[in-house]
A and B are shown apart, each in its own frame.
Chain A
Amino acid sequence: MKDDYDGPILEIDNLSISFFTRLREIPAVMDFSVKVQPGEAVGLVGESGCGKSTVALGVMQDLGKNGRIVGGSIRFKGRNLNEMSQEELREIRGSEIAMIYQEPMASLNPAMKVAQQLMEVPMIHKGVGKEDAYARALQVVTDVKLPDPKRILDSYPHQLSGGQQQRIVIALALMAEPALLILDEPTTALDVTVEAAVVELVKELGKKYGTSMLFISHNLGLVLETCDRICVMYSGEAVETGSIEDVFDEMQHPYTQALFRSIPLPGADKNASPLVAIPGNFPLPHERPPGCNFGPRCDYFEAGRCDAVERVPMSKIPGNDRHNSRCLRIEEIDWAAPPQNVKSTEKPAPGKVVLKMDELKKYYEVAANALFGSSGEKKVVKANETLSFEARESETLAIVGESGCGKSTFAKVLMGLETATGGQILLDNRNIESTPIEKRDTKTIADVQMVFQNPFDTLNPSMSVGRQIMRALEIFDFGDSDSARREEMLRLLDLVKLPRAFAERMPRQLSGGQKQRVGIARAFSGGARIVVADEPVSALDVSVQAAVTDLLMEIQREQKTTLLFISHDLSIVRYLSDRVMVMYLGHVVELGSTDQVFSPPYHPYTEALLSAVPIADTRVKKKHIVLEGDIPSAMNPPPGCPFQTRCGWKDKVPGGLCEKEVPPVRVVADGHQIKCHLSDVDFANMEPVIQIAAE
């Protein structure tokens, strides 16, 4: 049923979508227009709550009971989707428009085999028999580069890894060769190297099948890599649309500019040119300001003008191809001017060594058979293998690696939630590796604190913010009366830049960034000297990330805290850390200062990681390395070098040494160590992965 339509595949015109609650109508998307030409990929970028997913569901006409399209039109190949009957829509869904979702595990039916879920598509839309459908499924699964397709087809979703599941979801979308593919944050739940492989695959398949794509993401770097055009959304409106080059290099809207200034690009430096966070908060859909939605947070806001009009219209940028911006002052603003109010600070010198790890090991014993555990053989999971490093006062040490590399286990051992299997942890020359947290004295506990990844789950929902901080103070034996603790709690709120009135608020009344600030206040309540920050900003929006990172840096400068920053996001690591430790399957594969790790020679894994990170800068040229396969299970690690199964440099090492022996730790420069078999000549010939093209 592929017809010869040659107009735009998708044409959204002045679309408005509202959700209706008992109290009021909540406009989620207002006056939104976008066009997707055949074979074109359009990126839809914005922070959470800006309405980008609502647009996607609007295209699918699946807004639930409360949502309704209140204005505008969505034309797919010239036919208005708004006026179609359920029957006609069903015809189009899955066959002409397909969608790829954010969470692959949740999007696949847990009680149906993969084959069944895939075969359903051609059986519904093309009316083919079971054999033909199976053959098609087998072909598509091969297309998405899954190993052993027959076995995969015969498994249930829970038997596959996250990356494999996402490939199945992609296969599901491609079964009927749709004309339009909607991707809703398709890689957010995946690791960086897996993300790179999935993105690569989507691009390749898009070319192969000639599919148009609507790519929804909050990650500007990813959009740069995948899309031809971009549409930036803010608070339900498109604020800027245009080609990737126009928007990235000649942005014409204050929000786009602010967004770019708040993400760590290569060249950003925490001391000389820190990130600029967007002030204020995202407006709630029913509390939008009059006039320009971005007005209250905009540096160029002009009272009496920007808030005088009811709605700011979209205006064309002359000279560029379909480049539009929703701003009244486009011509008056000097877009090339450097950001104002930037405070550069002195880099503090690292102090004495406060924390020292020496050959730290953590093994878990796992029974091979859960049901007959006592008699079965035991397996040992080596979560941490001989970790050695030092951390100094007021230094930021980043620990980088993908899920399952042992970075969280390390944090647990340091915190005392687990005890070490071997080696030692020295805090001020005292051994703490085998003291569980119940046995640690108050001082030690107050010294080593943690900021957690997900601020939404780590605060007690039924206790006020102030009470929670005071409770922490009480545990750390601070002060002798409630009033003293109350005073200190207010001081801590000042420290993390929250208004004092927040003490009485409940966690649900706070935004994600504010909750994370409370988490930071709690961690510093005992005057912590070592703070383990486990992905502290990965659950937050980009503009908030910058603010929270800044806050952490500022407190660190004031209190000379040692910050252990656990992250998988290399851009932010590059921005804020002094030294970087790269981990893979429990091994430290590379350790050195930030400059050393981010420039050659690299460990092959670091090289791949760097290449996988999407960078939102058109000037950056990256070497293209895609890792094959998934991270091996820690239950069953490969023999020899842990990275040998995915390493691209393996054939440079003679005699299959990589498969036989764990490589030795080699010191390649002062304070820079790499765990690899490669020869010095190979190291010397390595090219930098990230190059910024000269302007």
Chain B
Amino acid sequence: MLLTAFCLTFLVFVMTNLYPNLEKLAKSEGNFRMTDIEVATWLSSNGYRSPLDPQVLEDFRSDKITLEEASAKVNTGFDPRIFRNYAEWIGVYPGWTGESRDGVPRGRCILPGTDPAEAPTFCGILQGKWGWSTVAKTPVSEALGTRIGNTGFLMLCVMLLMVPSALIVGVLAGMREGSALDRSLSTFSITTTATPEYVSGVLFIAIFTSSAVGLKWFKGTATSAMDNATFENFFLPVLTIALYGMGYIARMTRASMAEVMTAQYIRTARLKGVSFGNIVMKHALRNALIAPFTVIMLQFPWLLNGVVIVETLFQYKGVGWELVRAAGNNDIEMLLAISVVSVFVVLVTQLISDIGYVYLNPRISVT
């Protein structure tokens, strides 16, 4: 589990630290008319890449070579410094230090507005420091904390709506395979799974939210829901995500339920004189839930997908919204932190699903 986390974060780290990304970052942090040499200098003085070859810099400053020639000598490919940077980010290597042009001490661990003398030597994840968000202009942990809270609340609402309704739809459809009820519920769930969030979200906004036409039931933005979630401003984003996942879980539950209903022990129960309702509730339900349970837990990571789209669509400032903003502005530390969070969510849900499986299925025991 830890190994997976390391591999994934390192991968994200390498991707975000590719030269073009860094160049973009440097230009947006510095100014957009920087030359290649200036970019390289900025990157090395901010600890992103190894320093430029001093000879090249010297030659360029004394006009021995032209800008083009100097630019050509800038290393834009692999830089071994990336390992040190990764180690710094983890917190097993001392953070870089240096001085700005006007002699003020700077470094990874010296946050803007703090006293450089009090700064710690190590400041990585292990020390609980998630770095500095270049977009939000605050420490990442601070910015991300509220975002996670917002998204967590959204996901909780989605689950509360999606799981019970999906199970009810699935069980109702599966208990009498081939009936009219089964057909209509199956059509419904196929339709919802086949409609991605960006389609259903836009449709809902068009139908329900306009203040001039349509049904005017809900609000088209969920910005206000961050402070005060109401049915009116929060139901649409929740519904958009839930519908998509619901169809899928319902299909799985239906298939599993339909299979269980043909099992011999259901016939035993029927010929024991158990009523149909009790057959479904007492005999079939637990057996039918064993298979979809894993799928339900897999939906958590899936939800992260929908969250990105829906949060952007409804202007709800959660992790997904932050992810889009960070990716657009190459906010490296923020992106890394988000990827750590998502890896964590995936692994924890899988652990829960394995443990829950043991409880549902008496044939599997831990020992």
Name the B residues within 8 Å of A169 (CB-CB).
268
Name the B residues within 8 Å of A92 (CB-CB).
273
A-B contact count (CB 8 A): 76
Verify A110–B362 contact, CB threshold 8 A: yes
A669 to chain B, nearest CB (A): 49
Verify A109–B287 contact, CB threshold 8 A: yes
Name the B residues within 8 Å of A62 (CB-CB).
267, 270-271
Which residues of chain B (242-274) have a CB below 8 Å from chain A? Answer: 263-265, 267-274
Verify B283–A112 contact, CB threshold 8 A: yes
Q: Would you give the 0/1 interface string for A3-43, flagging 1 where the beta carbon is closer than 8 Å to chain B?
A: 00000000000000000000000000000000000000000
Query: B31 on the interface (CB 8 Å rule)?
Result: no
Given contacts A65-B178, A93-B273, A172-B268, 17 further A-B contacts (CB under 8 A): A90-B275, A94-B274, A98-B272, A103-B264, A106-B263, A106-B264, A109-B269, A110-B265, A111-B286, A111-B290, A112-B282, A121-B273, A156-B362, A156-B363, A169-B268, A370-B367, A371-B366
How many angstroms from the CA of A657 to the CA of B178 in the assembled complex? 65
Verify A158–B362 contact, CB threshold 8 A: yes
Which residues of chain A (163-195) have a CB below 8 Å from chain B? Answer: 169, 172
How many angstroms from the CA of A371 to the CA of B272 in the assembled complex? 39
Name the A residues within 8 Å of B271 (CB-CB).
60, 62, 93-94, 98-99
Name the B residues within 8 Å of A101 (CB-CB).
264, 267-268
Verify B272–A108 contact, CB threshold 8 A: no
Known: A90-B273, A90-B275, A125-B273. Contact between A107 and B268, CB under 8 A? Answer: yes
Which one of B272, B283, B363 has the highest number of Cβ atoms from chain A below 10 Å of its Cβ?
B272
Query: B361 on the interface (CB 8 Å rule)?
Result: yes
Verify B265–A108 contact, CB threshold 8 A: yes
Query: A273 on the interface (CB 8 Å rule)?
Result: no
| 24 A-B pairs with C-beta separation under 8 A | A60-B271, A62-B267, A62-B271, A93-B271, A94-B273, A95-B273, A101-B267, A107-B268, A108-B268, A109-B265, A109-B268, A109-B269, A111-B287, A111-B360, A112-B282, A112-B286, A120-B274, A121-B272, A156-B362, A156-B363, A158-B363, A169-B268, A172-B268, A172-B272
How many angstroms from the CA of A94 to the CA of B360 in the assembled complex? 28
Q: Would you give the 0/1 interface string for B327-367, flagging 1 where the beta carbon is closer than 8 Å to chain A?
A: 00000000000000000000000000000000011110011
**Interface size class for chain B?**
20 to 34
Query: A369 on the interface (CB 8 Å rule)?
Result: yes
Residue of A whose beta carbon sits closest to that of B366:
A371
Verify A369–B178 contact, CB threshold 8 A: no
Which one of A107, A109, A369 has the highest number of Cβ atoms from chain B below 10 Å of its Cβ?
A109
How many angstroms from the CA of A112 to the CA of B268 in the assembled complex? 13
Residue of B whose beta carbon sits closest to that of A56:
B271
Name the B residues within 8 Å of A143 (CB-CB).
none
Which residues of chain A (69-110) have a CB below 8 Å from chain B? Answer: 90-95, 98-99, 101, 103, 106-110
Which residues of chain B (276-324) have a CB below 8 Å from chain A? Answer: 282-283, 286-287, 290
Query: A160 on the interface (CB 8 Å rule)?
Result: no
Name the A residues within 8 Å of B273 (CB-CB).
90-95, 121, 124-125
How many angstroms from the CA of A172 to the CA of B178 in the assembled complex? 31
How many angstroms from the CA of A156 to the CA of B363 in the assembled complex? 8
How many angstroms from the CA of A172 to the CA of B264 in the assembled complex? 14
B264 to chain A, nearest CB (A): 4
Name the B residues within 8 Å of A95 (CB-CB).
273
Which one of B282, B361, B362 has the highest number of Cβ atoms from chain A below 10 Å of its Cβ?
B362
How many angstroms from the CA of A376 to the CA of B97 in the assembled complex? 52
Verify A120–B272 contact, CB threshold 8 A: yes
How many angstroms from the CA of A98 to the CA of B268 in the assembled complex? 9
How many angstroms from the CA of A107 to the CA of B328 in the assembled complex? 59
B65 to chain A, nearest CB (A): 63
How many angstroms from the CA of A158 to the CA of B264 in the assembled complex? 15
Name the A residues within 8 Å of B363 (CB-CB).
110, 156, 158
Verify A369–B272 contact, CB threshold 8 A: no
Verify A93–B272 contact, CB threshold 8 A: yes
* B interface residues, Cβ below 8 angstroms from A: 178, 263-265, 267-275, 282-283, 286-287, 290, 360-363, 366-367
How many angstroms from the CA of A90 to the CA of B276 in the assembled complex? 10
The binding surface of chain B is classed by DSSP as: helix
Residue of A whose beta carbon sits closest to that of B283:
A109
Residue of B whose beta carbon sits closest to that of A102:
B264
Q: Would you give the 0/1 interface string for A139-174, flagging 1 where the beta carbon is closer than 8 Å to chain B?
A: 000000000000000001010000000000100100
Name the A residues within 8 Å of B283 (CB-CB).
109, 112
How many angstroms from the CA of A369 to the CA of B361 in the assembled complex? 19
Known: A107-B264, A110-B287. Contact between A124 and B362, CB under 8 A? Answer: no
Q: Return the 4 tightest CB-CB contacts between A and B, nearest first.
A: A94-B273, A94-B272, A106-B264, A93-B273
Name the B residues within 8 Å of A120 (CB-CB).
269, 272, 274, 282
How many angstroms from the CA of A109 to the CA of B178 in the assembled complex? 24
Known: A106-B265, A108-B268. Contact between A124 and B178, CB under 8 A? Answer: no
How many angstroms from the CA of A291 to the CA of B290 in the assembled complex? 52
Name the A residues within 8 Å of B268 (CB-CB).
99, 101, 107-109, 169, 172
How many angstroms from the CA of A91 to the CA of B273 in the assembled complex? 6
Q: Would you give the 0/1 interface string for A225-256, flagging 1 where the beta carbon is closer than 8 Å to chain B?
A: 00000000000000000000000000000000
Which one of A103, A108, A110 has the highest number of Cβ atoms from chain B below 10 Å of its Cβ?
A110
Which one of A65, A98, A107, A369 has the highest number of Cβ atoms from chain B below 10 Å of its Cβ?
A107
How many angstroms from the CA of A583 to the CA of B282 in the assembled complex? 44
Which residues of chain A (49-73) have a CB below 8 Å from chain B? Answer: 60, 62, 65
Verify B362–A111 contact, CB threshold 8 A: yes
Name the B residues within 8 Å of A103 (CB-CB).
264
Residue of B whose beta carbon sits closest to that of A158:
B363
How many angstroms from the CA of A156 to the CA of B287 in the assembled complex? 13
Verify A93–B287 contact, CB threshold 8 A: no
How many angstroms from the CA of A98 to the CA of B267 in the assembled complex? 12
- Pick from A90, A98, A107: contact of B265, CB below 8 A: A107
How many angstroms from the CA of A62 to the CA of B274 in the assembled complex? 13
Residue of A whose beta carbon sits closest to that of B290:
A111
B283 to chain A, nearest CB (A): 5
How many angstroms from the CA of A370 to the CA of B265 in the assembled complex? 29
Residue of A whose beta carbon sits closest to that of B270:
A62
How many angstroms from the CA of A172 to the CA of B263 in the assembled complex? 17
Residue of A whose beta carbon sits closest to that of B364:
A158
How many angstroms from the CA of A546 to the CA of B295 in the assembled complex? 50
How many angstroms from the CA of A580 to the CA of B24 in the assembled complex? 85
Which residues of chain A (107-136) have a CB below 8 Å from chain B? Answer: 107-112, 120-121, 124-125
How many angstroms from the CA of A369 to the CA of B270 in the assembled complex? 39
- Pick from B264, B270, B360, B361: contact of A93, CB below 8 A: B270
B167 to chain A, nearest CB (A): 16
Name the B residues within 8 Å of A112 (CB-CB).
282-283, 286
Name the A residues within 8 Å of B360 (CB-CB).
111
How many angstroms from the CA of A107 to the CA of B266 in the assembled complex? 8
Name the A residues within 8 Å of B275 (CB-CB).
90, 124
How many angstroms from the CA of A682 to the CA of B282 in the assembled complex? 56
Name the A residues within 8 Å of B366 (CB-CB).
371
A267 to chain B, nearest CB (A): 39
How many angstroms from the CA of A90 to the CA of B270 in the assembled complex? 8
B71 to chain A, nearest CB (A): 58
Name the A residues within 8 Å of B267 (CB-CB).
62, 101, 107
Which one of B265, B287, B363, B367 has the highest number of Cβ atoms from chain A below 10 Å of its Cβ?
B265
How many angstroms from the CA of A636 to the CA of B363 in the assembled complex? 22
A165 to chain B, nearest CB (A): 11
B273 to chain A, nearest CB (A): 4
B174 to chain A, nearest CB (A): 15
Name the B residues within 8 Å of A94 (CB-CB).
271-274
How many angstroms from the CA of A103 to the CA of B178 in the assembled complex? 27
Name the B residues within 8 Å of A107 (CB-CB).
264-265, 267-268
Residue of A whose beta carbon sits closest to that of B360:
A111
Residue of A whose beta carbon sits closest to that of B269:
A109
Name the A residues within 8 Å of B282 (CB-CB).
112, 120
Name the B residues within 8 Å of A99 (CB-CB).
268, 271
B265 to chain A, nearest CB (A): 4
Verify A371–B367 contact, CB threshold 8 A: yes
